[in-house]
Amino acid sequence: MDQADLFSPVDGTILDDSSLSPGVYLTPSSSPIVILDAQGYFFEITIEEADLIYFLNPKTIMIEVQGLQKTLEGQTSPAILPIGETGKFAIRVALGSAPGLFYGLKAEARFL
């Protein structure tokens, strides 16, 4: 088994390999590698509870990504995620993939 290959079901970038080394014992329930799916980037917006009413229906949004010199169009997700006990919420906008787009870029959003 020391010559075995490991294949991922998704195309992406390895974010964490948990310091894997030859001979490490893995079980079926272990997650030794964290992969960022490069086919499904999203932009996350943090809003206050008072602004929830404006996001009950999906909205079209233009996202200007810093460093890319381009504007991407997306639509807000109907799923609104609470951020702990802060009273704030996260709304995600699916971006798909675009050349030069990668995890961690900052951007500005403009609603249409």
Position 62 scores a pLDDT of 92
Global pTM reads 0.60
For residue 6, is it within any domain?
no
- The full DSSP string for 11-47 is -EEEEE-TT--TT----TT----EEEETT-EEEEEEE
Beta-strand ranges (E) seen in 27-106 are 34-37, 41-48, 60-65, 70-82, 88-96
Q: In which domain, by residue range, is 88 found?
A: 41-111
Which CATH number belongs to the domain containing residue 90 in this structure?
2.40.30.170
For residue 88, is it within any domain?
yes
Count CB atoms within 10 A of the CB of residue 71: 12
Number of domains in the chain: 1
Residue numbers of the chain with a pLDDT score lower than 70 = 1-4, 6, 38
For residue 61, is it within any domain?
yes
For residue 32, is it within any domain?
no
